[in-house]
Structure 1
């Protein structure tokens, strides 16, 4: 096998359009077939690519399904609406709308259910979805600190534990509301949730 002087393998560059087609096909298969019947062969056929192409990108259906979900969550953006309260309400409504999409709902529930007995899959979900989406909390805190809405981090302190907690509270509440309780995440609920998040239980 020929290589570049750097030791990297030669070959055609990876196609972004093929990746998107594969991930879309994976979500469609999950909606139609469910986790148990999802196969790499079926995804390859739906995406119009060779199975070898699929395996060059993803080692197994666990990794493939998580990435199919992760790319949807990468669509989330934190709006700059002028205040922390409005920003939180905006991103929560975006998140809830995403979870209402059949391909997002089915794919997320499938990988989470499968991960209950698979530690490697849980790690994949954490790195590909959870850790990547914590960027929204990081951005929101920094913006609120610049506005003077929340105090800056004291010198020498690590904000990571607070970032983790904020993410868990928001994501956990919205996922439970939409996927477990099956209740709407409308403007009224979001306003109440945001007030509770920002002011605390005693104030609320």
Structure 2
């Protein structure tokens, strides 16, 4: 099924670590803008992620299939499949592991730990912050890096190490708006990349920001 919900993240240039988010939904054969000019922060070194550790956010079109957070149950209004993070939840960032770029429960007896490094997902417990209180998991290729999320920001002037982040209020609104039945995707890039996608027919609407 073709996507009928698209989240567009645009930066002025590929080296920028700030951008704007726009939301579009297709109803009755027409696209409508449902959110506009939402501030986001990107990787410290901008866009066009190429490898693990380059502190860039990925550019391209990525499916949005799952949401996650600290709550055992999905918040009210959320229909996306929900990954409830536990104190034992890890995102594996060791390229040598068969679980690379996956969120696993380290207490699961069926999982044999073969990794040398991993990120603890319950940041409220281990890092005393709310960055992963709400988040989304874009389906980004493991070839360019791991544990790339959309999540709560530290602040509008504090870039990430490769994720896309926004205010707690806006990420919750985004998760509540998304519907798995509409095959949502996120599209990220600088203005030139987004304009090229539009010219090549990947964006079906015509009010992409200049």
TM-score by length of 2: 0.20
Structure with max Cα Rg: 1
More strand by share: 2
RCO higher in structure (CA 8 A, sep ≥6): 2
More helix by share: 1
